[in-house]
Structure 1
């Protein structure tokens, strides 16, 4: 097809059909192009997507397995099966009919102790999170309180006469006191931490005395409440609960009532300090006002941003030269270096015209067009496919050469299907 003569005008709504060497051809609708598609891109990245999903699944499984081994849980946690955990003691208590309620904050411990008829509070504060006021409140939650591994602040708050006594002897120490749980335990393993208090201190009883006069367990009875201080918290842990009389001591201390409140303070018990936050300083009406403004803004965007029906195609009141359209699109392709896209546009137009020349529909399959053109021009189908599909231009010179070959293929097809004039014989 020959290009429109210079000076010809076309309506802007109707694209011009031209076949210049460096310009784009007609619309690419219903045509096959070499530009990568979404499906082709998906096939290329499929391996990396599957590899990423596999790595994510492995990470999730590893995290679940790590959680199953109780990694990262605090010592003496009631649900921790790790060596420092306390799950073994909790399960034995539950097997003996003692209910165990886990509390992470003082408020939860107070609620659990208030529901029980005869509770025992088991307390272990490894990080020293509670203040003196909260420690006093904790000691008053239940008739019996068992403290594992007390720190300096707890001793000063709840038992000022008691201090630290170092490490016990290297041999097992007998009970040596009248505390029922200690008597049933018999002896404790050596090497545990101890506590000490002055002789004759009122209300204090020491058990498992070492050679230096220190005690592994100290019990204080005052105002109808019993406070038991166990110097070494490892006595209740999974890896040491079965040593000597540890199990008997722990079960008898915690199993004296019908319910144990297993209270290990967390960061939620730490009192907030510092200046008030912006939210605390903001009046209460600000937040609902902001929410209303957000909804009003969204409603206005939907109201004013909606489309007023489908677009209507209409002819512009101007004419555009076909050469201007051709040259403008060619300059865009050249500026962006889109050689393959420009060649695809030329190929689409050539395939559609060749299909019409060999008697096929414009929507015919590309392979059918290639085979028909090869038969008509008596050329190998591979050569025709190379011109119409396979060859990719790497330079502008190759783009021009492929464009020339497209034109030459169209001319050859036109000559092959055009009968010779009367009286003229083919040579």
Structure 2
């Protein structure tokens, strides 16, 4: 293509900095930081709430000063001269009881097993002490130690009197028992035909009692509710008198709370030792992570403009494409590009719709310029250049036709004037 091509100057401008700043990085990471901090706070709160009751030790622990512990009772018994021996396993408790009996001294075995750790065989070994006191016995304890006794439900709120038929000296001295803030106490059911049992602090009509004792060698006392011995309620009603009377009648008291060392079958698994809230919290965290990944994860979106270091003008791209066409003798492809652009500009000048057909463009162009429609059609579609000279001539004809249409459609333009080719028109640039 021999049209004179003006060489544009290349404009260079500095590219904007695209290195992430500390502020932008922090803004993107803010969600994950806040989410992680929130999850940590939730986990800490759940841990604190789940372990609040276990602060200081197990319930009724002799060294537990918490409201649920039994340190107050153990300290008072020690001050009264009772030798309080703390045992953390069944074997240790039985050895301490046997040693105290061998020394010609009486012994009381105090047992509290809220976790129901001991199995039936281990529970059956508890009857060796001179006096055994079991607090809040479970069904397994009742079946092994006192099968005649059952559960009596929950008594009325407020203190429960020992009752006129109570034959136990410790209960008579106590007068009544009560839970913390006069809360209702659990009770045991004693059938009327149960021989050898004495019941106190209950309802004689229904047969429910807080305290049940079986006398004779190897005496057994069942106390239905641990609140009577707990620090928070030891001073309620006659709880302290009852506890001191039951546990301080012998010179030695073996304070036994079953632990994991008494587990009969192997060592508990990690799942058994893990608190129950861990699994739902972990599931919730996984679901939150998946939801956040879906909501904020990277995904394909609309194309963005790349920040280039220099600006390349469209004319340079056009000239490069023209050189490729000339190098490969693609005359028809080059002229097609010129024709498509010319037809579009002619249609715009004629006020035709973008969907107008080529026949409509040819007819309108021939009408406004007074040209032969067949010649206009040949210029816009039919003629195929066989050499560079014909390509240049066709390019000039396209330019002349476009100028004629623009002149005819311009306000004040002369309609019906045929296009004329001048030397200047062949020297101007034709852009697609």
- Normalised to the residue count of structure 2, the TM-score between the two structures is 0.46
Which structure has the larger Rg?
A: 2
Higher relative contact order (CA 8 A, sep 6+): 1
